[in-house]
Structure 1
Amino acid sequence: MRQPEGFVVKGQEHKVCKLIRSLYGLKQAPKQWHQKFDEVVLSNGFILNNSDKCVYSKFDDNGNGVMICLYVDDML
């Protein structure tokens, strides 16, 4: 999280703020949520669709598959 405008102390411009509440409601929250979701899903063997970056798929050796579709913060 970047320091709020007007909060930077001279000589300490590169320090960061320690959060005392969740990121919910902050403008960085959706991006960080999607990055974490992407990391977890891809580490579990899902493949990201090249045409739509909100669609993940995973297939077993028999051709059975699972698809996850994201819309904002909902999963289908």
Structure 2
Amino acid sequence: TAFLHGDLKDDVYMLQPPGFIDPLFSSHVCKLQKSLYGLKHAPRTWFEKLFRALHDLGFHQSSSDASLLVLHNLQQVIVLVYVDDML
């Protein structure tokens, strides 16, 4: 469900899904407000949202791995993000 929380930067449109087609406007399309499963942007938009949230908490991105974030406080906190989705 993480991918559903990504914010889209670009306008993305899709056909009306089967079973939800408005008979009065069957040729209309839907403009997405959020990311969906299967959308090629989904993993990236989710990672960007997660990165912003962790950055706001004081985490810094590692120079050796973009998915490794470190917080240097009284204790060191290390977060490694792994996304299992390839298209």
TM-score (norm 2): 0.57
Superposed CA RMSD in Å reads: 2.3
- The within-5 A match list for 1:1-76 is 1-3=11-13, 18-19=31-32, 22-60=35-73, 62=74, 64-72=75-83
More helix by share: 2
Q: Secondary structure at the match of 2:46?
A: helix
Distance in 1 between residues matched to 2:33 and 2:12, nearest whole Å: 14
Which of structure 1's runs of 4+ aligned residues deviate more than 6 A? none
Which gives a bigger RCO, structure 1 or 2 (Cα 8 Å, sep 6+)? 2
Identity among equivalent positions (%) equals: 36
Distance in 2 between residues matched to 1:58 and 1:19, nearest whole Å: 34
Report the number of matched residues.
Answer: 59
1:71 Cα offset (Å)? 1.2
Which consecutive residues of structure 2, in runs of 5 or more, have no partner in the other structure? 1-10, 15-29
